[in-house]
Structure 1
Amino acid sequence: MKNFDGDISAVEKMLNHTHLYDVFAGCTDKVDDAVFEQLCEIVALSWRLVLKDKFPERLFSVEVSNSDQDYGPVVTFFQVIKQA
């Protein structure tokens, strides 16, 4: 919390991120990057559906990224906090 100045959404985004290369570490050399990118989109869709089902009263953002700064495709989620 201290590193993110108390920004709960930023903390959740960091804690909940998943690198698909880490999940499938045993087969990254044999699989085209496009497969990991598609799989990342499927994981994101699954998380959106589950979060909506389990926490219908809350609003979540599920994000996918695959930038040069990332270690392969990444999916994360965080709760969107409504400002008062």
Structure 2
Amino acid sequence: MELGNMPQVKDWTADVGFFDLRTFILSNVSVAEAFSVATLLCPRFIEYRDCVFLEFAFEENSVNSWFNELKGDRAKVEAVVNHVHLWDFFAPASEADNEALQDFAARMAETWRHSARKQFPQRKFVVEANDGLNDYGPTVVIYSA
């Protein structure tokens, strides 16, 4: 997906007369919004009960419930807790947005893999991204191998 093909970017470019990434971000994105997306793209992970969880998705009581439900299968618990639907974070308004979110999911999987390896170099991870055609939109999941 090319950024310049997205409707919001096309509209903004038509108004301004040119496209420049720096100017587009400066005009459309707050620091809080940028930092929120950075946190989603390059998350911190925490270790709990010999598992690795996305810090922003971790809730101790919920994780403990999943351990009971999944009979202590650590990889399955990680996969449930660390399963992120991009539609829970972004509301696509067009087919181009849906396409962009699919690309975003693939990029997010790469950054999650890098972040997890950096924070836990002794562990091996499986990171998967899918287009969401058989799920609730594009999704990304990470769990220990």
> Which of 81, 94, 104 is residue 30 of structure 1 equivalent to?
94
Partners of 1:31 and 1:18 in 2: how far apart?
Answer: 20
State the 1:31 CA deviation.
5.2
Deviations 1:4-46 (A, max 9, x none): 1211100110001111111113xx1235222111000000000
Partners of 2:133 and 2:90 in 1: how far apart?
Answer: 19
Partners of 1:7 and 1:19 in 2: how far apart?
Answer: 22
Q: Which has the larger radius of gyration?
A: 2
Amino acid aligned to 2:112? W
Structure 2 residues not aligned, in runs of 5+: 1-66
For this pair of structures, how many residues does the alignment match? 77
2:104 is matched with 39
> Which of 98, 103, 114 is residue 49 of structure 1 equivalent to?
114
1:2 aligned onto 2:92: no
State the 1:2 CA deviation.
2.2
Identity %: 32
1:58 is matched with 123
Structure 1 segments (4+ residues) deviating >6 Å: none
Using the size of structure 1 for normalisation, the TM-score is: 0.82
Using the size of structure 2 for normalisation, the TM-score is: 0.50
Partners of 2:77 and 2:138 in 1: how far apart?
Answer: 20
Structure having the larger proportion of residues in helix: 2
1:77 aligned onto 2:138: no
2:23 is matched with none
Deviations 1:54-74 (A, max 9, x none): 111111111112242x11010
